[in-house]
Structure 1
Amino acid sequence: MKSVITLMLKDWYVLKKRSGITLFIVLFFAVFAGLQGGFLNTAMCTMMMIMLTLTTFAYDQGDGWEAYVSALPVSRKAVVQSKYLFGLLTVAGSILLVLASTVVFRGFEVAILLNALAVQLLLGLFFLSLNYPLILRFGFEKSRVWYILITFLIMGAGAALTTVASKSAPQNIASVTLIAGILVFSLLVISYFISLRIINRKEFIEI
């Protein structure tokens, strides 16, 4: 567990140094999610936070970190776990930002807060689950088209579902959200084991 925490700290320090603009954009969407609400601002806050975790893959691959860490007394399982836990923390961070912004600008309204929580959690975990194995398998640059496509598909599907949900009965929304949550969590577990299998079969050669 100590190795996992150390690897997560490494990613955090790298992001602090290289991703200041993206962090500003995250705060921008969090503020507007609190001011205006809406699916777009809420979802974009979470998506941009996860994009930060995706860039850590790019930095690792560009700096030759993968080859370096494979020579250290750190298991590949710990490397994968650190990426997934860091991704989950960014999702949680985006949720806290939107919740805080919503409370500040619109007060403590349980329905609004729960809706924002559901949107961020479902979309965030889904986006993370699909992209991590792709980047580990094909590399950050080759996966760029795929995660852009996935982003548009998620945003479009989410907007459509939000429109449908607004016309549905509360009990139906709760049931659909619960089912979606179970499916997304299952996808996350499957994604983790796929990523673990990919990295265990991968050969890292330092250039």
Structure 2
Amino acid sequence: MKGLILNQYYSVEKSIWWYSLIGFVAAMVLIFFENPVMQRAAGFLPLFLLATAALEVVRHEAISGWNKYVLTLPVKRIRVVQSHYLFFLILTIVGVLISIVAYMIAQFVFGLSPSAGYINSLLNIMGISFTMGFVVYPLTYILGTEKAETVTLVGAGVGIGVFFLSAFIFDFIPIEIQGLNSDQLFSLSFMIINFVLFIISYIVSIQVYKRKEF
């Protein structure tokens, strides 16, 4: 498992470092404006970029032929799927940490106060990222890694579309929880539901990958 994850890391190493740097700098700049919309974007950007880097792996595997070579190694197919999902989760966490560090620097060094929407934005983009993950991986295993780039674009579109559709539907659902306003409740619910779907897609992906012929 460690070898599989390291291979994925080295295949997109440059993207990870560049996206991390761009995400951090952009987040700091956007927070500095102390505008709620820009601060939401500050929470959104680092995580989105790192999630995109994780999804780049399947495209690189198709180009290099690794997706076929790995099956000749003494590695179970379930481990290949696990490594993809685990790597995605790792980079998602890294994106969250970059956003949190930017928030802490802005608050304690520059005396800025990011808006409450900053945390909601983090939860929202985590939900969108999980949506991308549960769409991209199963479809890639079904359609083939050669179509990974197209599938990734579809996954991003679905993630954003599901977010806006969910927000629209949520406005018509009269749910209240003490201690949470409507924005917080939606963001938390959206993230949790899509994480559950992400886990379900992992189970589906294992079954698809086991039966796939290369």
> TM tier, shorter chain?
0.7 to 0.9
CA gap 1:66/1:145 in 2 versus in 1, 3 angstroms: closer
- 2:43 is matched with which residue? 42
TM-superposed deviation, 1:158: 4.3
DSSP-derived class of the 2:213 partner: coil
- 1:7-54 deviation digits (Å, cap 9, x = unpaired): 111111222256654444334444345434433343232222111112
1: CA distance, partners of 2:48 / 2:68 = 28
Alignment of 1:102-181 (within 5 A): 102-107=103-108, 111-112=116-117, 114-155=119-160, 158=163, 161=167, 170-181=180-191
Q: CA RMSD in A?
A: 3.1
2: CA distance, partners of 1:68 / 1:56 = 15
Opposite residue 89 of structure 2, the aligned amino acid is L
Structure 1: unaligned runs, 5 residues or longer: none
Opposite residue 31 of structure 1, the aligned amino acid is M
DSSP-derived class of the 2:74 partner: coil
**Identity of counterpart residues, as a percentage?**
23
- 1:77-104 deviation digits (Å, cap 9, x = unpaired): 1111111011001110000001101111
- 1:119-177 deviation digits (Å, cap 9, x = unpaired): 23212212211111122222344243343244245346647849x98xxx943334333
DSSP-derived class of the 2:190 partner: helix
2: CA distance, partners of 1:18 / 1:174 = 32
Question: Could you tell which deviates more after superposition, 27-36 or 113-122?
Answer: 27-36
Structure 1 contact 137–198 (Cα < 8 Å) conserved: yes
1: CA distance, partners of 2:19 / 2:114 = 29
CA gap 1:202/1:29 in 2 versus in 1, 3 angstroms: farther
- 1:195 is matched with which residue? 205
CA gap 1:67/1:147 in 2 versus in 1, 3 angstroms: closer
Opposite residue 23 of structure 2, the aligned amino acid is V
Opposite residue 128 of structure 1, the aligned amino acid is G
1: CA distance, partners of 2:15 / 2:97 = 23
TM-score scaled by length of structure 2: 0.76
CA gap 1:28/1:141 in 2 versus in 1, 3 angstroms: farther
- 1:26 is matched with which residue? 23
DSSP-derived class of the 1:86 partner: helix
TM-superposed deviation, 1:65: 1.1
1:14 aligns with 2:11: yes
2: CA distance, partners of 1:113 / 1:129 = 24
Q: What is the aligned residue count? A: 198
